Chains A and B, each alone.
Chain A
Amino acid sequence: MSVAVTIETIEKRFDNFPALRGVSLDIQPGELVALLGPSGSGKTTLLRLIAGLEEADCGRVLFGETDTRNLSLRDRRIGFVFQQYALFKTMNVAENIGFGLKSRPRHERPGRDEIRKRVGDLLDLVQLPGLEKRYPSQLSGGQRQRVALARALAIEPRVLLLDEPFGALDAKVRKDLRAWLRELHGRTGHTTVFVTHDQEEALELADRVAILNEGRIEQVGSADDVYDHPATPFICEFLGEVNKLPVKVVGSQAFFGDRPVLGGLSQNQGGPASLYVRPQHLRIVDETPLALPGTVEHLRRNGPIRRAEVAVEGLKKRLEVDLASQVAPAIGERIRLRIAHGNLFAAA
């Protein structure tokens, strides 16, 4: 039932604003893919293009072998969950979920009892049994979300598309629903694409994450891929926190000022570069040839993580350093930092 989705060099402009600039993406059958990016990156446009709610200026979207340009919205058979759910306010839950089935051409339309049974099954699936007679205004945000999902699943979609599925929910509900959606996807196995601006959500939920920026896909990969091996400086800065050091590469070493801070570089692109280091990859050390001296200026605690802000001479922004539990520097203390891992990009 679920199909592969192939996106081929899609271009889309709105007036003079290029929303998508040559986007290609292959999605496997049954895969759960996140489109992640800041607002204005084109992720929602891409989702709406897959759905057929927008038309590409050029390029095409294939469902399996089928070119969707020739398909009407009805024939595409996609399940789309809108950001604000777009539940029909004048219909109760059962009517909402049954709407797609009742909209089928007469010869394909299931009978009334069949529809009622399917609605009941879907409500069980989304864990809202017995809410058939409620109206959307009588449901909580999380319940509306589930009803919207049940409504989208009712037409047995080939592809499930979700626009910011948890955007309108509070943090606690969001966490619960995330785990639940992951589990539901495991059970139903729909090819699923969802849009989010929340990197944590994307990394936790998706098999693969496609990161968009200014109308282009910058990188596609598993959560580990994109987090540990970011392809571009944008992804470094967009995913999680990161410190940026202007360095100069000579041979196999990177120099901050005239001090070597990272060695063993394999790529031999000499010259100025930006070194991106995550807070957890900075270690306080006693003495080492490759170390960065600094002064602890501020200490704070964010849940389980203790964080030090370290001023380094020649650097405007203080470095963010995660502290191991046994290390406890004092404010004003002079320390040395070793870079355990960093990503190097040649300066533009």
Chain B
Amino acid sequence: MSDAILPSAVTATPARSPSRARGESPAVQVVLIAVSLAFLLLFLLLPLVTVFIEAAAKGWEAYRAAITEPDALAAIRLTLLVAAIAVPFNIVVGIAAAWAVAKFEFRGKNLLISLIDLPFSVSPVISGLVFVLLFGAQGYFGPWLQANDLKIVFALPGLILATVFVTFPFVARELIPHMQSLGSSDDEAALTLGASPWRVFFCVTLPNVKWSLFYGVLLCNARAMGEFGAVAVVSGKIRGLTNTMPLHIEILYNEYMGAAAFAVASLLAGLALVTLVLKTLLEWRYGDAIAASRRH
């Protein structure tokens, strides 16, 4: 497959060129590649580069000041804390949901699959508003929460709830098709060999899907740290208290502190890059194992 996009394949003898066999002319290939590359440069690479250029615009000292300022540090801490709670939670629940969908037949399975996708189809702002309506001062549970002196909205629990809701599908959606394609014969084989259900899960089921799981976790984490809409609604944007990094960036930007905004933004962009590099490294290092575990 990969020769098809190498230039050498275009000039290769017609008999050996896979593109010729499919009837695509070299010109079509060149145009397609050029369009995709141009798109990538314009819409993905350029903005990313801009973030770093803007962040560095006022020099290293300003950059350092922007990200070590107390409010910024509080935002970074809060973001990490929210992700550290929301991501493991979604891993556990995501695995459970994927397991249920892939291994069992039950009534309402299709409904469950649709529900898993719900956070993707609902605007994040709505997701946030739902929690405000439920747990806010005027919400259904508001009076009860106030009576018991519990704060959910405009506090950490609300941020975690909103983040869990928005990032829930990532792990489950990566795992479901993979688990479905694997079927259950590996698990059954382990059971007939006398393994306990826990041993089957940790030694057979989980290792079989570890790369999908890992990829799902990476995506889930990136989104958990970068989520803006839902978090913006439930946070109340109290500086130093309920501001996560994306919210902090927006506030800085609205206050015409562009360089500082971009400095903090560069951290988030850096996270995205680390995620990408990590994924690529792992695919490069363990490509065979990944391919083998996806194959059946």
Q: Is the CB of B185 within 8 A of A100?
A: no
Q: Is the CB of A53 within 8 A of B188?
A: yes
Residue among A86, A99, A154 facing the most chain B CB atoms (10 A cut-off): A86
Separation in Å of the B194 CB from the closest CB of chain A?
Answer: 4
Separation in Å of the A153 CB from the closest CB of chain B?
Answer: 11
Q: Is the CB of B185 within 8 A of A82?
A: yes
Contacts of A100 in B (CB 8 A): 193-195
Separation in Å of the A216 CB from the closest CB of chain B?
Answer: 26
Q: Is the CB of A99 within 8 A of B195?
A: yes
Q: Is the CB of B192 within 8 A of A88?
A: no
C-alpha gap A135/B191 in the complex (Å): 21
Asked if A90 meets B293 with Cβ closer than 8 Å, knowing A82-B185, A84-B185, A103-B199, the reply is yes
B208 at the interface (CB under 8 A from A): yes
B295 at the interface (CB under 8 A from A): yes
B189 at the interface (CB under 8 A from A): yes
Q: Of the candidates A74, A90, A136, which one forms a contact with B194 in the assembled complex, judged by CB atoms under 8 Å apart?
A: A74
Asked if A84 meets B296 with Cβ closer than 8 Å, knowing A73-B191, A90-B207, A103-B190, the reply is yes
A89 at the interface (CB under 8 A from B): yes
Contacts of B291 in A (CB 8 A): 137
Contacts of B92 in A (CB 8 A): none
Asked if A104 meets B292 with Cβ closer than 8 Å, knowing A82-B185, A86-B185, A90-B208, the reply is no
Asked if A103 meets B204 with Cβ closer than 8 Å, knowing A82-B188, A86-B188, the reply is no
A162 at the interface (CB under 8 A from B): no
B3 at the interface (CB under 8 A from A): no
Q: Is the CB of A104 within 8 A of B208?
A: no
For residue A154, which residue of chain B has the nearest CB?
A: B193
Contacts of A91 in B (CB 8 A): 207
Contacts of B283 in A (CB 8 A): none
Q: Is the CB of A103 within 8 A of B193?
A: yes
Separation in Å of the A118 CB from the closest CB of chain B?
Answer: 13
Contacts of B293 in A (CB 8 A): 89-90
For residue A79, which residue of chain B has the nearest CB?
A: B192
- Tally chain B residues at the interface, Cβ within 8 Å: 24
Q: Is the CB of A137 within 8 A of B194?
A: no
Asked if A53 meets B192 with Cβ closer than 8 Å, knowing A84-B185, A86-B185, A137-B295, the reply is yes
Q: Is the CB of A89 within 8 A of B194?
A: no
Total CB contacts across the A-B interface at under 8 A: 75
Separation in Å of the A70 CB from the closest CB of chain B?
Answer: 16
B81 at the interface (CB under 8 A from A): no
C-alpha gap A86/B193 in the complex (Å): 12
B177-191 vs A: 1/0 string, CB under 8 Å? 000000001101111
Separation in Å of the A52 CB from the closest CB of chain B?
Answer: 8
Contacts of A10 in B (CB 8 A): none
A133-148 vs B: 1/0 string, CB under 8 Å? 0011100000000000
C-alpha gap A84/B181 in the complex (Å): 13
C-alpha gap A76/B192 in the complex (Å): 8
Contacts of B199 in A (CB 8 A): 103
Contacts of A80 in B (CB 8 A): 188-189, 192
C-alpha gap A191/B44 in the complex (Å): 64
For residue B187, which residue of chain A has the nearest CB?
A: A86
B257 at the interface (CB under 8 A from A): no
For residue B291, which residue of chain A has the nearest CB?
A: A137
A79-103 vs B: 1/0 string, CB under 8 Å? 1101110111111000000011001
A292 at the interface (CB under 8 A from B): no
A78 at the interface (CB under 8 A from B): yes
Separation in Å of the A135 CB from the closest CB of chain B?
Answer: 7
B65-108 vs A: 1/0 string, CB under 8 Å? 00000000000000000000000000000000000000000000
Separation in Å of the A203 CB from the closest CB of chain B?
Answer: 27
Q: Is the CB of A86 within 8 A of B189?
A: yes
Contacts of B207 in A (CB 8 A): 88, 90-91
Docked complex: A104-119 residues within 8 A CB-CB of B: 104
C-alpha gap A104/B200 in the complex (Å): 12
Contacts of B191 in A (CB 8 A): 53, 73-74
Contacts of B295 in A (CB 8 A): 89, 137
Q: Is the CB of B186 within 8 A of A86?
A: yes
Asked if A78 meets B196 with Cβ closer than 8 Å, knowing A84-B296, A86-B185, A89-B292, the reply is no
C-alpha gap A200/B203 in the complex (Å): 39
Contacts of A89 in B (CB 8 A): 186, 208, 292-293, 295
Contacts of A193 in B (CB 8 A): none
Q: Is the CB of A155 within 8 A of B189?
A: no
Q: Is the CB of B292 within 8 A of A78?
A: no
Q: Is the CB of A155 within 8 A of B193?
A: yes
C-alpha gap A232/B243 in the complex (Å): 79
C-alpha gap A84/B196 in the complex (Å): 22
Asked if A88 meets B185 with Cβ closer than 8 Å, knowing A73-B194, A103-B194, the reply is no
Docked complex: B6-65 residues within 8 A CB-CB of A: none
For residue B197, which residue of chain A has the nearest CB?
A: A73
Q: Is the CB of A82 within 8 A of B189?
A: yes
For residue A97, which residue of chain B has the nearest CB?
A: B193
A248 at the interface (CB under 8 A from B): no
Contacts of B186 in A (CB 8 A): 86, 88-89
B276 at the interface (CB under 8 A from A): no
Q: Is the CB of B195 within 8 A of A103?
A: yes
B4 at the interface (CB under 8 A from A): no
List 7 additional A-B contacts (Cβ < 8 Å) besides A90-B293, A103-B194. Answer: A73-B192, A86-B189, A88-B186, A88-B203, A99-B193, A103-B190, A155-B194
What are 9 pairs between A and B in contact, CB < 8 Å? Answer: A74-B196, A78-B192, A82-B188, A84-B185, A86-B186, A88-B186, A99-B203, A103-B195, A151-B193
Sorted from nearest, which 8 A-B pairs have the closest CB atoms? A100-B193, A103-B195, A74-B194, A90-B207, A137-B292, A86-B185, A86-B189, A80-B192
